[in-house]
Amino acid sequence: MQKFVEIFPDRTALIERGLSLVLAKLQAAIQSRGQFTLALAGGNTPKPLYEAMSTQSLPWENIQIFWGDERYVPPDHPDSNQRMARQIWLEKVDLPESNIHPMFTGAGNPQVDADRHEAELRQFFGVSDGEFPIFDLILLGIGDDGHTASLFPHTEALRVKDRLVTVGNKDGQPRLTFTVPLINHARCVVFLVEGEKKCSALKQIFAPEADEMNYPARLIQPQGELWWLLDRSAGSEIER
């Protein structure tokens, strides 16, 4: 694993860097493999990045969009990560609907929908049981409790090693989430983190020793590149 940490003076600079990094990985992936497989983060931090992506002129037919996690709500619910990315970005570009791979949340049973998305990922990437798809880039954020995707502290989801998708749990609310091993098989993982609320969690995530069950983002050690893009208020405690 190669780890990179970059701290920026403000959100604008952070998002600009995030955009340049995504575009660089996108171009390299399409050049060498003909497609770019990208998993999106939810939450607020990535919204300006998705906005910026919507203004780019790109070979959309070669770009495949997934989500690293999803709230267990209908796709038109205000909390839906799929709805957020479609409204801010995907509906504004010529991305074929067949290139958009949301986590279905309509079975009324999160485990059933987790299994369904797992099967969809295995089919898309052509991987069988025991193998893990290799995403070109997985975008992640962190919560102020140190969670990432929907891998929340001290939850069962943190221990799942033999699945691609599992059921997360946020204060009793079910979520669907990529598992730690799926994320760690990625060619590139990019954390986008801003705001002083994330400062203390980041300190623990970067500390030489800390409980991974308490700070799940510590579990993210991808086989490829790990990028931490921080604004100064989030990264103020990180030794460089």
Judged by CB under 6 A, the residue of 105, 148, 166, 169 near ligand 6PG is 148
Judged by CB under 6 A, the residue of 7, 53, 63, 149 near ligand 6PG is 149
Judged by CB under 6 A, the residue of 102, 143, 146, 222 near ligand 6PG is 143
Task: Output phi, psi for 75, to 5 deg.
Answer: -65, -15
Q: Is 166 in the site for ligand 6PG (CB under 6 A)?
A: no
Q: Is 41 in the site for ligand 6PG (CB under 6 A)?
A: yes
Task: Output phi, psi for 200, to 5 deg.
Answer: -75, -35
- Give least dist CB 30 to ligand 6PG, A: 25
- Give least dist CB 113 to ligand 6PG, A: 15
What DSSP character marks residue 152? -
- Name which of 29 and 41 has its Cβ closer to ligand 6PG: 41
CB atoms within 10 A of CB 193: 25
Judged by CB under 6 A, the residue of 64, 80, 81, 105 near ligand 6PG is 81
Judged by CB under 6 A, the residue of 19, 21, 42, 230 near ligand 6PG is 42
**Which string of x and - marks every residue 91-130 that binds ligand 6PG (by CB under 6 A)?**
----------------------------------------
Torsion of CA 46, 118, 72, 137, to 10 degrees: 0
Q: Is 43 in the site for ligand 6PG (CB under 6 A)?
A: yes
Give the containing element (helix H, strand E) for 168. strand 165-170
- Name which of 27 and 236 has its Cβ closer to ligand 6PG: 236
- Please, where are the H alpha helices in the chain? 11-33, 47-53, 81-88, 110-125, 180-184, 199-206, 232-235
Q: Is 141 in the site for ligand 6PG (CB under 6 A)?
A: yes
- Name which of 26 and 140 has its Cβ closer to ligand 6PG: 140
- Give least dist CB 220 to ligand 6PG, A: 11
What DSSP character marks residue 192? E
In angstroms, the Cα distances linking 108 to 73, 80, 104, 174 are 10, 15, 10, 11
CA atoms within 13 A on the CB side of 8: 17
225-231 sheet: strands from edge to edge? 2-8, 225-231, 188-193, 137-140, 36-40, 63-67
Judged by CB under 6 A, the residue of 12, 44, 111, 236 near ligand 6PG is 44
List residues near ligand 6PG by CB under 6 A: 41-45, 69, 81, 141-143, 147-150
